[in-house]
Amino acid sequence: MDKEAIVVKKINSQGLEIYTFQQNAADYISLTDMARYKNADEPKDVVKNWMRNRGTIEFLGIWERINNPKFKGVEFDAFKAAAGSNSFVLSPQKWIETTDAIGLISRSGNGGGTFAHKDIAFEFATWISPEFKLYFIKEFQRLKIEENERLALGWDAKRMLTKINYKIHTDSIHEHVILPQKLSARSAQIVYANEADVLNVSLFGMTAHEWRIQNKNKEGNVPDYANVYELVCLANLESLNAEFIRMGMPQKERLIKINEAAIAQMWRWKARHPSPTSTKKITATCAKHC
């Protein structure tokens, strides 16, 4: 199993504890746990019996062809031709190793067993019992709703963190830029805008004004449409910029350093998670925004 397959969670359905985890943003569910509804003592035999069916092999093959470019179709055809006969036996492990399947995952040791992508797990639930399937799907959906609510709360928390850090950031500007230079109120506003744009340009590749021109039908500002990764990065950049201001670093130098920090952070997240918004190197346009 991929080492990135992380958080193990549990679904309680029909008196069973059914374990699930996510791998590459896909949900995998324990067929072994589900099979205990049919045979509590020998759940592995239930899974093997299900895999003897020709309809099961056809379903697994179609799923793999849709979702797995490395699926070995020739080997699948051999299994399909033999499926349904009295002598046909196929274990999940043999299916995975022979066809390079990704829809099933076999885990050994404590908490092991056969896990399946949720599409396949729902098909397995149909074979076990229509009643079991309905109750199981209901509990699975409830779990996903709870996960989405937690993610939404996490997004709100990141926005709050950004707002708190923004106050630290603007307080630093007030103490170390505005007061020593004795700027007018209007000039102070310009400094604030420019400092915000140091962050906007570093992370999003445009100033707030440029964003509003490109998004005339949208309300709010650039960070209001940022994803969680960008918001965390923005919060870090705000603290970093405040420290650079305390050091007396010129804005042009800060812009370059903050952009480099933004690129480094976002690329680290990109290595761990699929497709976060990339940041643009702005050295060539630095003079325009500084």
Chain segment 200-223, per-residue pLDDT in tens: 888 888 778 888 899 888 877 888
Interacting residues of 108 by C-beta distance below 8 A, sequence separation 6+: none
pTM greater than the 0.85 cutoff: no
- pLDDT average, residue stretch 23-30: 87
Task: Enumerate the H helices of the chain as residue ranges.
Answer: 31-35, 43-51, 54-67, 73-82, 92-99, 118-128, 130-173, 179-181, 185-204, 208-214, 228-246, 251-272, 286-289
Asked if 153 and 35 touch (Cβ cutoff 8 Å), the reply is no
pLDDT of residue 42: 92
Most confident of 72-81, 176-185, 228-237, 266-275: 72-81
pLDDT exceeding 70 applies to what percent of the chain? 73
Rounded to 10 deg, the angle between the 43-51 and 54-67 helix axes is 80
- For residue 224, pLDDT over 70 is answered with yes
Q: Which residue has the higher pLDDT, 9 or 39?
A: 39
Domain ranges (residues) in the chain? 8-128, 151-289
- For residue 188, pLDDT over 50 is answered with no
How far apart (Å, rounded) are the C-alpha atoms in residues 74 and 203?
A: 48
pLDDT band at residue 153 using 50, 70 and 90 as cut-offs: low
Q: What is the DSSP letter of 206?
A: S
How far apart (Å, rounded) are the C-alpha atoms in residues 116 and 106?
A: 9
- Residue 106 bridge partners (DSSP): 114
Q: What is the DSSP letter of 284?
A: G
pLDDT of residue 123: 94
pLDDT tens for each residue of 92-135: 999 999 999 999 999 877 778 999 999 999 999 999 999 999 98
pLDDT of residue 164: 57
